[in-house]
Chain A
Amino acid sequence: MSNRLWEKSLERLESELSEQQLSTWIRPLQAVEEDDTLRLLAPNRFVLDWIRSHFYSKIQASVREIAGDPGLQLVLEVGSQKRPRPRATSPERPAPRAAAPGPAPASSPAPARPPRGPAVEEPEEGVQHNLNPSFTFATYVEGKSNQIARAASMQVADHPGAGYNPLFIYGGVGLGKTHLMHAAGNRILEHDPGARVIYLHSERFVAEMIRALQHNAIDQFKAFYRSVNALLIDDIQFFAGKERSQEEFFHTFNALMEEGQQIIMTCDRYPKEIEGLEERLKSRFGWGLTVAIEPPELETRVAILQSKAEQNQVDLPSEVAFFIAKRIRSNIRELEGALKRVMAQARFTGQPIITLDFAKEALKDLIALQDKLVTIENIQKTVADYYKIRVSDLLSARRSRSITRPRQLAMALAKEMTSHSLPEIGNAFGGRDHTTVLHACRKIDELRESDNRIGEDYANLLRTLSN
């Protein structure tokens, strides 16, 4: 089936419509040519309605004229058709997946005609899964910040449904939760290639459930999710405040647990702290094992950069890796973004070796922004706000626990996030000695390990200050 007619019509429309109209409304359309019909598939109802009310007659006139067939039917529908993507791939990019998870009437194969039936997704040959094959344990860089979560995920993958169920992984954005989850899924498949492993984002679960309700397909929806061997569901904080979805997930959860099927969840916080989530879900989420991923410390950030550079076959000198890792502390995703910026610039300029000066130049906009944001004053203010105390308390001589702990945290953050020396930091905290700062840094390091509360406070503050 060629799309020559539509291609030619697009060329014609280029002389009749603005590029803005074309690129927003017309270019997203997918054409399916049949004998006496041109079927145009719109990605959603908004586009469909807009086309219908603004461009329908223009499009119809164009296609009829080009086809030389005044009787040609033009049909508009919501839907999409699978097609090979004419694109190059880079080694790190996930390959296009086999199938969307779930009953997913949204991206249905073949022109979907409203009212669309449920579960139009044909079962793929073999067992369908939608894991990213490049997210494995081998490509996951281990550090102090994630070693427990990694070990737990591996354990679960080796004995799915048998031990820790559910596995609940929590931590801030961009710390590698999704990677770990896919790694566990891939390992489950390695052991048992026939297992039905489904990964999906909770936002997707919500959207699919709503669609299933609209299409009277809720039974198929239920049946689908209750038939899997492992359900990997990402960012469950997106269930907050969505009661019907919680209800549905609650039943799915129970059904899978009863059957001894594995559930892995990720979240940006500890289950009990998810506001707008039903108590019964919160308590169930804590039934198995709950593990945290902390923001990676400097050495791990460096190792992550080097591993990513290696995956891209780029030689990254360690001084450059340290330079980037010291400046991008917030999360791995942004670390990756910065590295990509440097690698892209090296490629475009034909730079054979990434030197420190080159990296500084490539990242100068980014660094200027970061340096502008994080000052000792800024840290003091943020910490004081966080603990609901005054900045003047931090600088004072007061030694009560409620003040000293935040003061030590603020000092440790100043050491981690700014390039000020210990004496300078001491000075900025009411003229304290540099040994006091050193002591504070060591104390906080120690407490982050032994005291969950401090660990979390530190992570939260680091995140706030880094964003």
Chain B
Amino acid sequence: MQAAGQQLPLEIGLREEQDLEGFVAGDNAFALATVREMALGAGEQQVFLWGPAGAGKSHLLQGACLAASRRGEQTAHLPLARLADLGAGVLEGLEAMSLVCVDDVDAIAGRRVWEEGLFGLVNRVRDAGGRLIFAAGCPPGDLGIGLPDLVSRLGWGPVFRVAPLDDAHKLEALAQRARARGLELPAEVGSYLIRRYPRDPRALFDLLERLDTASMAAQRRLTVPFVKSVLES
């Protein structure tokens, strides 16, 4: 749980990058549309998103919380991989939320107490008329969950695969983030980053963050040579 505090400096002030408007859909237009509707209080009562790390699932979940919260709703985002060290009691009382986003469902698979806790949460939230968004690395049936009651409840709503962005869409996402920072990212610099550096969007965005700081400090525009010098130093 320390991580929650440690990431602080990185993410401040980037709200527009975490809302749903800042999500580059790529092949995930339906997943995005479903989540957006739910954030607005319409559409499905629950949805399950699965796909590899870096595909943007947590972005969708946090974006949904942000949007619903701005409409005055109470929401909770539960990154289970981080919360799993706390007790399953962290799931108590959340039926008071209008929207509950359960991230990293994988993290509690096979842990009976957590599985029962999550099962109870799903029942309570649905009974209270609340909405649920789940995210995991694979579909409900493949998670290795021991409680069949939970598996079937996870698949109650539509199940969407969230596919990682291809290079063209990654470039678009990178450019969009740069614009949100007021940073001009020439196409050749974007392509250079995608070719030469980690393909995981999150890592790419962190790179952008470093470049932003460096360009501000050096009062330089982003060019390939400048980027090279920053990232190789």
A31-81 contacts to B, CB under 8 A, are 42-47, 54, 78, 80
| Interface residues in A, total, Cβ within 8 A | 69
Cα(A268)–Cα(B147), bound, Å: 11
B34 at the interface (CB under 8 A from A): yes
Cα(A34)–Cα(B121), bound, Å: 31
In the assembled complex, 13 residue pairs joining A and B whose CB atoms fall closer than 8 Å, in A order, are: A17-B12, A21-B5, A23-B101, A25-B4, A44-B89, A85-B98, A86-B41, A87-B131, A89-B129, A107-B93, A130-B127, A344-B43, A344-B44
When C-beta atoms are compared, the residue in chain A nearest to B34 turns out to be: A344
Knowing A27-B77, A86-B72, A94-B127 are in contact, say whether A20-B152 is a contact too (CB < 8 A): no
Knowing A20-B4, A369-B139 are in contact, say whether A344-B93 is a contact too (CB < 8 A): no
A365 at the interface (CB under 8 A from B): yes
A88 at the interface (CB under 8 A from B): yes
A14 at the interface (CB under 8 A from B): yes
Contact of A43 among B8, B45, B94 (CB under 8 A): B94
Cα(A43)–Cα(B13), bound, Å: 27
CB atoms of B92 and A44 under 8 A apart: yes
B86 at the interface (CB under 8 A from A): yes
Q: How far is the CB of A79 from chain B (nearest CB, A)?
A: 8
Cα(A330)–Cα(B131), bound, Å: 24
Closest 10 CB pairs of A and B: A43-B93, A87-B41, A18-B11, A80-B96, A23-B77, A96-B129, A341-B158, A44-B92, A174-B152, A23-B65
B128-146 contacts to A, CB under 8 A, are 128-131, 139, 141-142
Q: Which of A119-127, A331-339, A431-439 contacts B (4 or more CB under 8 A)?
A: A331-339
Knowing A28-B94, A95-B129 are in contact, say whether A268-B71 is a contact too (CB < 8 A): no
A310-331 contacts to B, CB under 8 A, are 330-331
Q: Which residues of A contact B96 (CB under 8 A)?
A: 30, 43, 80, 107
CB atoms of B18 and A19 under 8 A apart: yes
CB atoms of A340 and B76 under 8 A apart: no
CB atoms of B89 and A27 under 8 A apart: no
Q: Which of A155-163, A201-209, A274-282, A401-409 contacts B (4 or more CB under 8 A)?
A: A201-209
Q: Which residues of B contact A330 (CB under 8 A)?
A: 152
Cα(A239)–Cα(B108), bound, Å: 21
Interface string of B33-70 (1 = CB under 8 A from A): 11000001111110010000000000001100110010
CB atoms of A14 and B11 under 8 A apart: no
Q: Which residues of B contact A95 (CB under 8 A)?
A: 129
A184 at the interface (CB under 8 A from B): no
Q: How far is the CB of A108 from chain B (nearest CB, A)?
A: 11
CB atoms of A94 and B44 under 8 A apart: no
CB atoms of A23 and B123 under 8 A apart: no
Q: How far is the CB of A318 from chain B (nearest CB, A)?
A: 22
Q: Which residues of A contact B15 (CB under 8 A)?
A: 14-15, 19
When C-beta atoms are compared, the residue in chain A nearest to B72 turns out to be: A86
Knowing A337-B159, A344-B34 are in contact, say whether A467-B141 is a contact too (CB < 8 A): yes
Q: Which residues of A contact B78 (CB under 8 A)?
A: 24
Q: How far is the CB of A293 from chain B (nearest CB, A)?
A: 14
Knowing A17-B12, A348-B29 are in contact, say whether A46-B89 is a contact too (CB < 8 A): yes
A interface vs B, CB < 8 Å? 3, 7, 10, 14-25, 27-30, 42-47, 54, 78, 80, 85-90, 93-97, 106-107, 130, 132, 172-174, 201, 203-204, 207, 235, 238, 268, 330-331, 333-334, 336-337, 340-341, 344-345, 348, 365-366, 369, 463, 467
B152-182 contacts to A, CB under 8 A, are 152-153, 155-161
CB atoms of A201 and B120 under 8 A apart: yes
Q: How far is the CB of A460 from chain B (nearest CB, A)?
A: 11
CB atoms of A94 and B12 under 8 A apart: no
Q: How far is the CB of A56 from chain B (nearest CB, A)?
A: 14
Cα(A16)–Cα(B9), bound, Å: 9
CB atoms of B153 and A333 under 8 A apart: yes
Q: How far is the CB of A361 from chain B (nearest CB, A)?
A: 11
Interface string of B100-121 (1 = CB under 8 A from A): 0100000000000000100110
With A23-B65, A45-B92, A46-B86 known, 12 other A-B pairs at CB within 8 A are A23-B77, A44-B90, A85-B73, A88-B41, A90-B42, A106-B93, A107-B93, A130-B127, A203-B123, A207-B120, A235-B149, A344-B34
Cα(A30)–Cα(B15), bound, Å: 21
Contact of B33 among A20, A132, A348 (CB under 8 A): A348
B228 at the interface (CB under 8 A from A): no
CB atoms of B76 and A28 under 8 A apart: yes
Q: Which residues of A contact B44 (CB under 8 A)?
A: 340, 344
B198 at the interface (CB under 8 A from A): no
When C-beta atoms are compared, the residue in chain A nearest to B19 turns out to be: A19
Q: How far is the CB of A209 from chain B (nearest CB, A)?
A: 14
